[in-house]
Structure 1
């Protein structure tokens, strides 16, 4: 064997080894020079938008939700960021005004890769056409099944209808509801109330229930009269898809008429401030809340981690379950960002592809396992059953969850 041949052979072997090492390294991350990027991405930052209500009717829960975003962003950045870039967010307040929301959206949209939050159904409806046109991913603070048909929306957790079905299924399992019984459902108009009603209607069809549905405006105060009607109709349970003030009004009415009926409420219908009002004893005694995410401080892996991080970063600050919601949304966005980075495409089109490739996302029981690959279907069919608790952090304590029911699985399998 000549020394010349040996030298060439060694050189070729070295080149092959180096090429293999480069290939292996490339599987873990995409070199910056090859990464395709979109709006909101610079050489060292990925910026996400938050379009929320900081001064309007839904402002009480906003600080906790934003703190949940902050905790996730801190965690990601402490680990080196994503694709060598730190995460950041830009917040705009719309005060629950559609025109202000549109102004804020069109100001933020060119500057961000996606939206961690768009609060408010009227705002979402006004903005949705441009989301489709600009190919932006957004996570609305809504769990309406009607939104599942929009491929750009990231609905994190079970939808209103599935929470209702899981709640009613729990009553049936506990022997408090049987086939053929009468149930009441009081709901506000719009995607929240009507979406929740879809759940009780589905259960009524399957179990031959006599559903007594009552619609009430968001500012309506007719809850005592409606509860009296439902009592006279022999309702075995009442589901409320109302505002927190209306929830308190209805529960106090049931207490006044000494009607010992199970009362279940969607998460949107509960506010910890209710427990600082005269309605507190009745709310604690009678209400169960069905939610798409775990209560703050629950004895679950993810909830314990989040509450620990929250207390270290915000000592002495009151928290609500909205912290877990914000963190879960941030966790979902981070998972999509990492997948897009691995694909070498962090444009908005690349984000949408990565979004639909994201499946079996483990939130450590902050929600049920999330799947975004099935367009038109909810990301989870699992709910949490919780109860108001004056002594619990966030004023809610866990009864059960995440759990699902056969009926919820059946409903969730039907694409929108």
Structure 2
């Protein structure tokens, strides 16, 4: 039975915030009996402070996301320290480690952090998180990851938002409303991110009867996409779905524009960063690109997003308008709620009590998500808090740069896809 971990009234939620995988994988935590061994330990916890760790990319190929995500986490806990005095009278200290999106470096940084921190409110980058995943269970370590692929889910790893598969299914369902039976092409990163989106689109095609006319992959670090562009152009698509990160997105989009491409564009969450607003492709990107995303939206959001945006803006206006910083804030919010529950548990703050609190977390979102965040160890997605995604366009005049076309919706394809898996 699920338990509610905080009052569900809007007033109480506002006050708090104002002051404040694949199905065959095992559940993300050991459940309510996480005790003994590493689960009974409390590294990083003293009378006055709680140390948490962040593993992120500050210098590598996805640092455009890793830097603002990390700053969002830091800003959230600075806010909690300033307005609530931390958790249980203990201030939160955040230790940030840069892995440069290199798996060996991620494992090394984890090994350095692990003895000194209670939990990880952010692990950024799927490849890096995979490198440390094998250690998490033995160490009874909780890790909140940037939302990723369902096929990439791991024990003790909790996504902050909907999976890329759910985003793809919701996005293509939205497109089909006005474009029945389209010719769909896909450019995808050749890893679990891209493969997960590819599997979701193939399922959607089988269910809705449209054709995937071309599916082209690339490797992280590729600088040229001429072969993929030629193949997609020859397939004459109506829409190109982009399961890519920002560097590949901007390069491929620019090359397609230069070649006279006229198809529609639908990107998954990692296809936008504010850097595009300073590039020559800016106007075409703003005009033609639509994104399906699980992240919180400032425009039309709730009390929590207002607090987040105002706090981030006090740190830096550029940080406030970068959607990745709000995702970092969201991840830190989830960890904060788990810490509050764990601190009230009979064992107090231990790795096991934090893991148990996250595994059963059920809290209001107040704009940071679609109604609430709920992790359920018995579900098909034990480490995923919700399935909804929003359809957005980029608007430089809007707070957070994202303007919703449809806010927090879920395709009926999602349930069938999860059941199939």
What is the TM-score of this pair, normalised by structure 1?
Answer: 0.83
Distance 1:221 1:93, change over 3 A: closer
Distance 1:304 1:103, change over 3 A: same
1:370 is paired with a residue of what secondary structure? strand
1:278 maps to 2:280: yes
**Does the 8 Å CA contact 1:331/1:363 hold for their aligned counterparts?**
no
Q: Report the more deviating stretch, 388-397 or 129-138.
A: 388-397
1:372 maps to 2:378: no
CA distance in 2, matches of 1:281, 1:72: 33
1:121 maps to 2:131: no
Aligned pairs for 1:101-120 within 5 A: 101-120=106-125
Aligned pairs for 1:128-277 within 5 A: 128-148=133-153, 150-173=154-177, 175-176=178-179, 178-179=180-181, 181-211=182-212, 212-220=214-222, 223=225, 225-277=227-279
CA distance in 2, matches of 1:111, 1:103: 14
CA distance in 2, matches of 1:43, 1:227: 58
CA distance in 2, matches of 1:95, 1:223: 23
Task: Give the structure 2 partner of residue 390 of structure 1.
Answer: 396
Q: Report the more deviating stretch, 41-50 or 209-218.
A: 209-218
Matched residue pairs, number? 374
> Cα deviation per residue 1:344-389 (whole Å; 9 max; x = unaligned)?
2322122222222212x22222223321123540321111222222
CA-CA distance at 1:298 after TM superposition: 1.9
> Cα deviation per residue 1:270-307 (whole Å; 9 max; x = unaligned)?
22212211111221111111111024x42211332211
CA distance in 2, matches of 1:326, 1:83: 23
CA distance in 2, matches of 1:304, 1:348: 31
CA distance in 1, matches of 2:43, 2:356: 16
Task: Give the structure 2 partner of residue 76 of structure 1.
Answer: 80
Task: Give the structure 2 partner of residue 356 of structure 1.
Answer: 359
> Unaligned stretches of 5+ in structure 2?
1-39
CA-CA distance at 1:203 after TM superposition: 0.7
The answer to which structure, 1 or 2, has the higher relative contact order (CA under 8 A, 6+ apart) is 2
**Does the 8 Å CA contact 1:264/1:289 hold for their aligned counterparts?**
yes
Task: Give the structure 2 partner of residue 25 of structure 1.
Answer: none
Distance 1:363 1:135, change over 3 A: same
Q: Report the more deviating stretch, 164-173 or 51-60.
A: 51-60
**Does the 8 Å CA contact 1:120/1:142 hold for their aligned counterparts?**
no
1:380 is paired with a residue of what secondary structure? coil
CA distance in 2, matches of 1:393, 1:307: 8
**Does the 8 Å CA contact 2:189/2:243 hold for their aligned counterparts?**
yes
CA-CA distance at 1:231 after TM superposition: 4.5
Distance 1:342 1:317, change over 3 A: closer
CA-CA distance at 1:234 after TM superposition: 3.9
Task: Give the structure 2 partner of residue 332 of structure 1.
Answer: 334
**Does the 8 Å CA contact 2:296/2:326 hold for their aligned counterparts?**
yes
> Cα deviation per residue 1:215-237 (whole Å; 9 max; x = unaligned)?
12234456455445434434222
Q: Report the more deviating stretch, 215-224 or 89-98.
A: 215-224
What is the TM-score of this pair, normalised by structure 2?
Answer: 0.82
Distance 1:225 1:390, change over 3 A: farther
Distance 1:76 1:411, change over 3 A: farther
2:373 is paired with a residue of what secondary structure? coil
Q: Report the more deviating stretch, 199-208 or 367-376.
A: 367-376
**Does the 8 Å CA contact 1:383/1:402 hold for their aligned counterparts?**
yes
2:334 is paired with a residue of what secondary structure? helix
Distance 1:97 1:298, change over 3 A: same
Task: Give the structure 2 partner of residue 97 of structure 1.
Answer: 102
